[in-house]
Chain A
Amino acid sequence: MSSYSITEPSSRQKWVAGSLVIFYAVITLLPLVWILTTGFKSPVDAIAYPPKVMFEPSLEGYVNLFTTRTRVSQEQLEALPPPATWYEEIVRNRDMVIAGPSRYGERFLNSVIIGFGSTFLSVFLGTLAAYAFSRFKVPLKDDLLFFILSTRMMPPIAVAIPIFLMFRTLGLSDTHLGMILLYTAVNISLAVWLLKGFIDEIPREYEEAALIDGYTRFQAFYKVVLPQAATGIASTAIFCLIFSWNEYAFAVLLTSGTAQTAPPFIPTIIGVGGQDWPAVAAGATLFLVPVMVFTILLRKHLLRGITFGAVRK
């Protein structure tokens, strides 16, 4: 039985579309695969030419990522007691001993604090502002909204020098607070505009019903508007996090020690004892994980239409 439908694509169309999608996915995923595999290669395999597709996996990159090491002479090495752990053994095979932990953990934690902190702040402030713009008679509303958007009409890095000077004067250079505020300032315009769109689509009748049902304006916002804006809030949060997590230029400029995030730190790994590509790749791989997990957790909210069907128009 063959049925013909003008809305359902034919199997040939599906095949072509599917192939195109797979082709595109392969192209975009290839660099990721390269990073992922390099992290598990030995330094020799990592720079082998032609590149090795099959190789013996090694955790050396990850060990190097988390440790600092010192080279020792053969006599010194033999005088040492046998290695106590598997990672000490890997290091000793290269005629080195572990001198201590690297700073990757701290930098990673900085990224988490600054990335999630600024995301939370952007979405929190953005939701309140978007609600106000959506529901209240704000004087000069259109001008204010344009002004908010205009902060994104040039690359943020264009104002790097004034920000650098401002941060130095205010003592915000190389602080978590400074970076959180900076990333929030960049993200807030996106957050306000995205969220205003979502909140505009929630009919006012719901809040009015809640007001009449005995709730205050804030309770109505909290109990009725927020749950329905969850989709918008989740997708806004993902966009904000991706920006602040990946931001490189300001991080290089404004952080050096205490508040340095992972992106400016990862390239510095390469300088520690030769070109250690596996360690860099390992650092990059781990760096991808939080955003991926966050996106997967909020994925179902990215599918629009949670309220679809509730509204009879």
Chain B
Amino acid sequence: MSEVKLGGLSKTFDDTVAVDDVTMTIPNGAFVTLLGPTGAGKTTILRLIAGLERPDQGDVTIGGRSVVNDTPAQRNVAMVFQQYSLYPHLTVRDNLAFPLRSPLLKTPEEEIDRKVLEVAEVLRISHKLGNKATNLSGGEMQRVSIGRALLRDPSIYLMDEPLSSLDAKLRSDLRIELKRIQENLGATLLYVTHDQIEAMTMATHVGVLDNGRLVQFGTPREIYENPVNLYVAGRLGQPRINVLPADLFAGAPTGAKSIGLRPEHIAQGEGKASRVKRVEHLGDQTRLHLSLDGHDIVTLSEHHTTIEPGDTVAIQPRNPLFFDASGARIA
């Protein structure tokens, strides 16, 4: 495992800027998540590190050594793709053994057998080893694909939305499994997702991307509690942060254009009166849809609230976030 550094990395496809001057350090043993919507450049960053794309500018160093001129094989990275992950003409066993049989590793067959069984055990696919890769469910395919990466001892694991095509139950199971494996191995892992739960729960660090630029990099907590701008603030949190004009409440700092209120930033009981439009009982939480001077606000209430649509709730901000006209955070 090694530290991976990106320095001023840029990549343009035809007219589209995919990655724009990204500088980032992935510490040894860290679980780094890249978060952003489709087209933000997450996958391109993975491909640049893997060597599947050549950067227009900038440098990638693995363990202190620049690898931009190395082939993917020489970089010794492992990658899990979003789909098309398994070689369809091979069995599950041969799929798992494929990287070990490469000219790079040339592992003896008995060691391959041992390692394959070990990983198959961990991922609970031992009974499927003889199957054709095509003869698996989506979840099994993706587990084999993760297993293929885990069999190696690469500098870094790169994962491109590995869980996105799975159903919710399997996704949450594998999420926990993956985090456990990463901790046990002390592996360095760069994980691309647009799922904020995956980003929050697994990562030691989160990088938020917007149009190819790295907007903020920090621990999930930092990103959630101290977003640098409105864009970052909007990427995390369920329900989403409420963005309202700053002058709606008193006490906004000078220059503030908008105020960002997460549910925990809204104190109920005192302040301005708002009308309850709808109450959603989700089981583990209860959401209140409020209307304040024509602005919609979503916040949380306690489980067994008796509030009903039509009621009035007084609210006021509590340590909210303030943003200027450009969306940058000012307080």
Interface residues of A, Cβ cutoff 8 Å to B: 203, 205-206, 208-216, 219, 224, 227-228, 306-313
- List B84-99 residues whose CB lies under 8 Å from chain A: 84-89, 98-99
20 extra A-B contacts, CB within 8 A, seeds A227-B89, A312-B84: A205-B81, A208-B72, A208-B81, A209-B85, A209-B87, A211-B52, A213-B99, A214-B76, A215-B102, A224-B87, A228-B88, A307-B88, A307-B89, A307-B134, A308-B134, A309-B134, A310-B133, A310-B134, A312-B83, A312-B138
Question: A311 and B138 in contact (CB under 8 A), knowing A214-B73, A216-B73?
Answer: no
Q: Fill in one digit per residue for B143-180: 1 if any A CB lies within 8 Å of its CB, else 0.
A: 00000100000000000000001000000000000000
| Partner of B81 from A209, A214, A307 at Cβ < 8 Å | A209
Main secondary structure of the interface of A (DSSP, over half): loop
A212 and B83 contact, CB distance less than 8 A? no
CA distance A313 to B165 in the complex (A): 10
Minimum C-beta distance from B49 to chain A (A): 10
Minimum C-beta distance from A262 to chain B (A): 37
B71 touches A (CB below 8 Å): yes
A-B contact pairs, 10 of them (CB 8 A): A205-B81, A205-B85, A206-B84, A208-B72, A209-B81, A212-B50, A215-B102, A219-B102, A307-B88, A307-B89
Minimum C-beta distance from A17 to chain B (A): 31
Task: Report chain A residues within 8 Å CB of B85.
Answer: 205, 209
Interface residues of B, Cβ cutoff 8 Å to A: 50-52, 71-73, 76-79, 81, 83-89, 98-99, 102-105, 133-135, 138, 141, 148, 165
Determine the residue in chain B with the shortest Cβ distance to A226.
B89
Question: A212 and B84 in contact (CB under 8 A), knowing A310-B133, A310-B134?
Answer: no
| Partner of A208 from B52, B86, B88, B133 at Cβ < 8 Å | B52
| Partner of A212 from B77, B103, B141, B165 at Cβ < 8 Å | B77
A212 and B73 contact, CB distance less than 8 A? yes
Minimum C-beta distance from A103 to chain B (A): 45
Determine the residue in chain A with the shortest Cβ distance to B165.
A312
A211 and B89 contact, CB distance less than 8 A? no
| Partner of A310 from B81, B86, B165 at Cβ < 8 Å | B86
Minimum C-beta distance from A211 to chain B (A): 4
CA distance A313 to B76 in the complex (A): 29
Task: Report chain A residues within 8 Å CB of B104.
Answer: 214-215
CA distance A311 to B76 in the complex (A): 26
A216 and B88 contact, CB distance less than 8 A? no
CA distance A209 to B77 in the complex (A): 11
Question: A213 and B84 in contact (CB under 8 A), knowing A219-B103, A312-B165?
Answer: no
Minimum C-beta distance from A152 to chain B (A): 31
A311 and B84 contact, CB distance less than 8 A? yes
CA distance A310 to B85 in the complex (A): 9
B87 and A205 contact, CB distance less than 8 A? no
CA distance A203 to B76 in the complex (A): 22
Question: A310 and B103 in contact (CB under 8 A), knowing A212-B78, A214-B73?
Answer: no
Minimum C-beta distance from A134 to chain B (A): 16
Minimum C-beta distance from B167 to chain A (A): 13
A212 and B88 contact, CB distance less than 8 A? no
| Partner of B73 from A206, A211, A228 at Cβ < 8 Å | A211
The 7 closest A-B pairs by CB, nearest first: A310-B88, A214-B102, A214-B104, A205-B84, A213-B99, A310-B134, A211-B72
| Partner of B103 from A214, A228, A311 at Cβ < 8 Å | A214
A205 and B83 contact, CB distance less than 8 A? yes
Task: Report chain B residues within 8 Å CB of A306.
Answer: 88-89
CA distance A216 to B134 in the complex (A): 25
CA distance A309 to B133 in the complex (A): 10
| Partner of A215 from B77, B103, B141, B165 at Cβ < 8 Å | B103
Task: Report chain B residues within 8 Å CB of A208.
Answer: 50, 52, 72, 79, 81
CA distance A307 to B104 in the complex (A): 27
A211 and B84 contact, CB distance less than 8 A? no
Question: A216 and B103 in contact (CB under 8 A), knowing A310-B133, A312-B138, A312-B141?
Answer: yes
Minimum C-beta distance from B163 to chain A (A): 13
B72 and A212 contact, CB distance less than 8 A? yes
Task: Report chain A residues within 8 Å CB of B165.
Answer: 312
CA distance A15 to B48 in the complex (A): 60
Determine the residue in chain B with the shortest Cβ distance to A213.
B99
A212 and B52 contact, CB distance less than 8 A? yes
A216 and B89 contact, CB distance less than 8 A? no
Task: Report chain A residues within 8 Å CB of B84.
Answer: 203, 205-206, 209, 311-312
Task: Report chain A residues within 8 Å CB of B83.
Answer: 205, 311-313
Task: Report chain A residues within 8 Å CB of B71.
Answer: 211, 216
Minimum C-beta distance from B76 to chain A (A): 8
Determine the residue in chain A with the shortest Cβ distance to B76.
A214
A206 and B87 contact, CB distance less than 8 A? yes
Determine the residue in chain A with the shortest Cβ distance to B98.
A213
B52 and A210 contact, CB distance less than 8 A? no
Task: Report chain B residues within 8 Å CB of A214.
Answer: 73, 76, 99, 102-105
Task: Report chain B residues within 8 Å CB of A312.
Answer: 83-84, 138, 141, 165
Minimum C-beta distance from A266 to chain B (A): 41
Minimum C-beta distance from B92 to chain A (A): 12
Task: Report chain B residues within 8 Å CB of A210.
Answer: 87, 98
CA distance A309 to B131 in the complex (A): 14
CA distance A312 to B137 in the complex (A): 10
Task: Report chain B residues within 8 Å CB of A205.
Answer: 81, 83-85
Task: Report chain A residues within 8 Å CB of B148.
Answer: 213
Minimum C-beta distance from B35 to chain A (A): 23
CA distance A209 to B96 in the complex (A): 12
A215 and B73 contact, CB distance less than 8 A? yes
